[in-house]
Amino acid sequence: MEIKFLRLIKTIAEEGSIAGSSEKLFLTQSALSHQLKDLEIQLGFKVFYRTRNKWELTEEGNVLYKTACTVIDSIGSGLNAIQQIRAGAAGTIKISTECYSFYQGLPLFIQKMKVLYPEIEVDLVLEATHKPVEKVISNEIDIAVVTSKPSVSKELVSIEIFEDEIFAVIHQENHLNNSEYLIADDFLDAHLIIHSFPLKTVSVYEEFLNPNGIAPAKISAVPLTEVTLEMVQANIGITCMPKWALHSFKLSDELKFKKLGNNGLKRKHYLVVRKSDIRKKYINDFLLNFKEYFQNFG
């Protein structure tokens, strides 16, 4: 039975007349009477006894009325619960990362979020780059993307997203192209092109060169990936980054990727969020979609 018929029975029973019911149901008295007649034909029994001043439920109609009350109240409760959930589904999320290279993947994800969750506003906070965890603690941003899991904290939650690998990008005429993989010593005479200082935020330096006591002959900070690739294409430097960060660029066949070390230089990415925010629906929706989107980037 359609919900509209249950609503019709409930309304007539409570109003006691066609006139009052037609106003509440936004139907003409003729249309309402016609619907009720069709319903009784389908059911095979009368729902109401018609009298001049009062419409009273038959025994069968009384059972239908109770059923209508139960169903309609249940639907109302369900819709109220959904509204309460949706009320927590809207909000603004400020996000930053400790590494500029990660911004290569964020715009497309944010675009996808706007389509799927128009009530969630995502703001990239570039000013918090390099110190995003501190900014999460101070409530200046909501989520930090980092490659080093913060120490255990009562305030923060760390969620592992994916693992990627950093490669050296060199020109095919670079003498290092003859090597199967690069070792730290290969950077002694190299011109290393990074995105920005400080060096402690540069993975290849912090996790590969510095532990081996190696400082490149020259280090240049170039904030634009396009310019960095042009410099490498001209064979005037080496850069190091994950392959996924270059998916949106048209790469020359003259550019070659070399592993860093025999086992490669791998790193894990984490999302850091305040424990007090983790149960907020719009935050949780963002985290789940972020993990689903980026887990294939490794």
Q: How many other CB atoms sit within 10 Å of the CB of residue 214?
A: 16
Tell me, yes or no, whether 106 lies in a domain.
no
270, 147 in Cβ contact below 8 A? yes
DSSP state of 206: I
Tell me, yes or no, whether 101 lies in a domain.
no
Angle between helices 3-15 and 29-43 (to 10 degrees): 120
Global pTM reads 0.70
Tell me, yes or no, whether 97 lies in a domain.
no
Looking at the structure, do residues 174 and 261 belong to the same domain, yes or no? yes
Walk along the chain (298 residues) and give the pLDDT tens digit of each residue.
788 999 999 999 999 888 889 888 989 999 998 999 999 999 999 999 987 778 899 999 999 999 999 999 999 888 877 776 666 788 899 999 988 778 878 888 999 999 999 989 999 999 999 899 999 999 999 999 999 888 888 999 999 999 999 999 999 999 999 999 999 999 999 999 999 888 988 999 999 999 999 999 999 999 899 999 999 999 999 999 999 989 889 999 999 999 999 999 999 999 999 999 998 999 999 999 999 998 877 6
Tell me, yes or no, whether 180 lies in a domain.
yes
Which distant-in-sequence residues (6+ apart) come within 8 Å of 74 by Cβ? none
Tell me, yes or no, whether 275 lies in a domain.
no
Looking at the structure, do residues 261 and 170 belong to the same domain, yes or no? yes
Count of domains observed in the chain: 2
Tell me, yes or no, whether 93 lies in a domain.
no
Instruction: Give the range of the structural domain holding residue 20, as residue numbers without chain letter.
Output: 3-87
Q: Which helix (H) or strand (E) holds 111?
A: helix 106-116
Tell me, yes or no, whether 95 lies in a domain.
no
Q: Residue 20 maps to which CATH number? A: 1.10.10.10
